[in-house]
Structure 1
């Protein structure tokens, strides 16, 4: 009987635990080992059946791994690679699932030995519950799963990473790492800082004690931050600094335009701008839900109303859980 493949998952949050659950259908061929410095999360993942066993010690978790799924914040990746680099098996392939890729691929080239390959992955999911309790086996089913490589990535490593993504139910979507990071700056990192800035403006206002009582769905949606904590969010933005600064500049320009239109009494132009955003958002959500990124032909009846759009986006459980992440574009071929 052939030896069972070992897949080690580092990081037992929503993404890591969901990866484990998705791979459980291959339990007769694969042993899944989980590692997380947070013992509560590791235990929770084990209890829900996402892993066969957990290892508190990182080296013990990876030393026999054939594949490693790394589902940790961008700020932890360099230290993690440094810690385990010299203890990895010959031919081990690492699939990194963070939302920043250029920096991670550079770190891999610097730190990993030649016999180990890292391929960048980034699953695109929209879900209300972003902690381990929301993990499910079908989280990636039919969803775009970005795949990024560099000149150091062998064809064999890319094929193995692609197989792993498909085994989890994802649809591989090849992107250039720089292109990916530019788009993620617009869809993740700039929105994170925009939400933080709005919340900071509100909570530092002298009227916040009463203002918070009036904060409802719109405020919730506008201040939603999906990162686990401030350090994780800041480290991701810092790892994608150049692109994020560029998108913040563009966002500030749009806010200036909104302010100028409002101050000048250009209500019709302001309404037109808001309506463009509403229509684009409805179409995006429709495509995201269907997993169909061809330009949709939608009748007025098919496009969700602004109310149902917001309801679908954050769910009526919004005040219990946390929410969405970005969409992507149509899959293409890897760039050479």
Structure 2
């Protein structure tokens, strides 16, 4: 069964086709970064309008690239949440309409479940059970994964997500949008000469808090000479603090669960320093570490097509209503057999 996957949760339009035996057939991604950079961040209304313009041509391009006809598609998977409501509705309405016209089932996919399962697209995927760290612009989660849909939330951010903290700190340093990658690039030119706090690591538990790091960076910036080197050193200190905080929490999660496999996914998982630090920790803990390839760290249609395919094969699908949820807890999903 060929499954068409559609991702429109925020500022990237992703389309892919996946087959359970043949793997990923084709995938394309359109990013709205250039449009939103003019405003210093994502403008929801503009994001929705751009999805409307780009989604159908991208579906046509993906079908043409895969040399498949609509009649050969056996199911459609679409991101139903969490995300920007207007953006989600574009993907949901398009997917639901195509499924009705083509007389095939459609299934709503949780955006973070897509990220969580993205490493399954690699040549050597993880085996259940494992611990997953999901780090993106909107979410920071630690989850125990015993199977598809069998998720136990271990910890989450109580305020800013890691990616959000990256973006806000980049903005106060005057780095523009998208802030996270620009801050990481600047950090390579600096040294962590300031010691930033490692929030919530001095107490039990697996929850996160990153808003204080943003404030600490602002206070440090106001107290220094504000040279380009000062900015680079602050960026390095901030990134090191986030990286070491994630390492401490992941080590704790592995030890508490007794598991020896860690999956790290989401946009921030592409960060080189975070990958290196978690790799060193996993080696010391004799744990296996899994990342998606960089192109599947950010939002993409391939992860939605894969997750949707697994759910369709398990018999899951939605009725004719257009289903979208801007807020949607991951630990409330139905499990696949």
The answer to whether TM tops 0.5 is no
Higher relative contact order (CA 8 A, sep 6+): 2
Query: TM-score normalised by the shorter chain: which range applies?
Result: 0.3 to 0.5
Q: TM-score, normalised by structure 2?
A: 0.35
Between structures 1 and 2, the one with greater helix share = 1
User: Normalization by structure 1: what TM-score?
Assistant: 0.35
The structure in which a higher percent of residues are strand is 2
Select the structure of larger CA radius of gyration: 1
